[in-house]
Amino acid sequence: MSRVEKIIIDTDAGGDPDDTLAIALASKLPNILAFVSSDETGDGKRAEVVRAIVGGRAPVFTGLSSPYPGTHVLDQLHIPPTLHPESVDDGFLDLINHAAQDSSLLWVGIGSYTNLAWLHDKNPELAESMRVVLMGGRMNMKEGDRPEHNFKVDPEAAMSVATSFPHLTYVPATTTMHERVRVDVSHPLISYLARGNEPWQAASLENFNVWFERRFDASYQHDALTLAIALGAVRNLSLTRVRAARDGGLSEDETCRALAVSGGVEHDAFWQWVWNVLDASPESIQKDQS
């Protein structure tokens, strides 16, 4: 009998709202173990965003800060008052170690890799069995390309993780940066959030709206797509063995254990999975608006 796979979501919520969709989707899964914030601010605001979306459906932990913090819009978000999430030192490792006794573990990283490197330092044995799927990196980077974000905020952790986890798959930005996962103000997802009355919908909608107003006119759903791939909701993927560089460059190397998704993403299957988990459909949204 196969063991149940428990999921940990490591997220830098509070910037690009693609995190909020991934968090909302993950929180609805029956086998979610915990959420932990990455690239955390000194006051734990990213974890509070996660708690605002997750509510009481799963434990939320305040993770570690990264040495080169990324951009966020936390100062513009009105995060509802909440019980401040525990830190990773307060039971997070115990929770994971206990779950590993009778479950397999899946770590989905949709932020920096600081927490994952910390976990390896605390319990290296977990690395041998834990399945790890990380959003980040770029296939075949060229000279002059910008460093990939999730590597850039903590390159030391990124390089440690790249060589420490034998069951590691990257979902690189060169795969996720696709027009089919682009969400702007006219997208059905925004209408779905706007018509909802649950706290997580309001928190997610605010993150999207602030992002559109203060940063960019769209958000590519890198993180939700990564989650879908990790869960097998998107199939027929092309996988390539890769070597990771400090700037996030992923180059083909058959001698390495790490894999990267290099093609074959079925975007229709991704969106069908999203709407199924949300128990909604773009057709019903359009009907309600008419």
* Domain boundaries along the sequence of the chain: 5-289
Region 144-155 average pLDDT: 95
Q: Is the pLDDT reported for residue 34 higher than 90?
A: yes
Task: Give Rg (Cα) of the chain.
Answer: 18
CATH number of 5-289: 3.90.245.10
What is the per-residue pLDDT for 290?
Answer: 46
What is the per-residue pLDDT for 193?
Answer: 96
Average confidence score pLDDT of the chain:
93
Instruction: Write the CB contacts of 242 (distance below 8 Å, at least 6 apart in sequence).
Output: 137, 139, 170, 250, 251, 252, 253, 256, 258, 259, 260
Q: How many residues does the chain have?
A: 290
What is the per-residue pLDDT for 280?
Answer: 86
Region 55-66 average pLDDT: 94
- β pairing state of 182-183 and 219-220: antiparallel
